[in-house]
């Protein structure tokens, strides 16, 4: 069984196209989507349509929650609060009521089992859509924040930095971001899990897409924070 986990598309449908094309060539049996589908990208509507066309299990990210109800005080730095709500309003205006209802009703975690492999997947942490766990955090902090359920493999998104790590015989994996990588490598990121009868293999896949076309989409749009977003896309860093 070959599984693909994708996350943090952020309205970048061009990058999502590239990832889905790559997945198609890898004989993947099942795709799972770990949130942040629309917000902060030039194509929120098409990104969501692509995700929904997969007819698969999708969970909610913090950005999906923001699209539904707006960014609230304390969730972002004070200086970014106003502009990020303007970005949210722009994204909201591109979606219909059915899309908003879909985002609002998404679950927040996946508990999967394939052979003897138990997988717990979520967006940021099992208890929060907003908390941040970085690749370099201490083992104890990772255990307390991420390893809440009994599982062999924990998979999450949110931080836009792909990595694989082992703690006490358990595997922790971050998918990185399809549409907005923050690790300096300007390639979309996702995770493949290959499950055999008595073993499993986890790999991070990076896929080239044309970020210049996405930057061009921002430039031609009336997106309210496009200079910042163009810079992030160009550098693959915040």
Q: What is the pLDDT of residues 116-171, one digit of tens each?
A: 999 999 999 999 999 999 999 999 999 999 998 999 999 999 999 999 999 999 99
80-97 residues labelled b (16+ CB within 10 A) or e (exposed): eeeebbebbebbbebbee
Q: What is the mean pLDDT of residues 19-27?
A: 96
Pairing of strands 170-174, 109-114: unpaired
Crossing angle for the helix pair 62-69 and 97-104, to the nearest 10 degrees: 130
- Domains, the chain, ordered by start: 2-235 (3.60.21.10)
| pLDDT for the residue numbered 142 | 98
Question: For the segment 183-237, what is each residue's pLDDT rounded down to a tens digit?
Answer: 999 999 999 999 999 999 999 999 999 999 999 999 999 999 999 999 999 999 9
Structure tokens at 152: 């062999």
Q: Convert 205-226 into a string of H (helix), E (strand) and C (coil).
A: EEECCCHHHHHHHHHHCCCCCH
Surface-to-core class of residue 197, CB atoms within 10 Å of its CB (0-12 exposed, 13-18 middle, 19+ buried)? exposed
């Amino acid at each position: 069984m070959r599984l693909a986990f994708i996350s943090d598309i952020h309205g970048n449908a061009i990058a999502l196209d590239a990832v889905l094309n790559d997945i198609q060539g890898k004989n993947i049996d099942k795709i799972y989507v770990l949130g942040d589908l629309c917000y902060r990208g030039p194509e929120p509507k098409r990104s969501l349509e692509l995700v929904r066309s997969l007819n698969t299990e999708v969970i909610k990210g913090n950005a999906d929650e923001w699209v539904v109800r707006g960014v609230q005080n304390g969730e972002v730095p004070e200086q970014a609060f106003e502009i990020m709500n303007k970005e949210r309003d722009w994204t909201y205006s591109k979606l219909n009521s059915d899309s908003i209802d879909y985002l609002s009703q998404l679950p927040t975690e996946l508990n999967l089992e394939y052979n003897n492999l138990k997988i717990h997947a979520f967006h940021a942490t099992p208890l929060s859509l907003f908390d941040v766990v970085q690749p370099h955090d201490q083992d104890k902090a990772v255990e307390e924040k991420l390893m809440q359920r009994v599982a062999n493999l924990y998979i999450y998104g949110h931080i836009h930095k792909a990595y694989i790590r082992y703690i006490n015989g358990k595997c922790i994996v971050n998918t990185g971001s399809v549409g907005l990588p923050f690790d300096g490598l300007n390639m979309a990121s996702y995770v493949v899990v290959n499950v055999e009868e008595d073993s499993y293999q986890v790999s991070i896949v990076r896929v080239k897409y044309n970020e210049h076309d996405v930057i061009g989409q921002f430039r031609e749009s009336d997106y309210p924070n496009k200079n910042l977003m163009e810079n992030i896309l160009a550098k693959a860093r915040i």
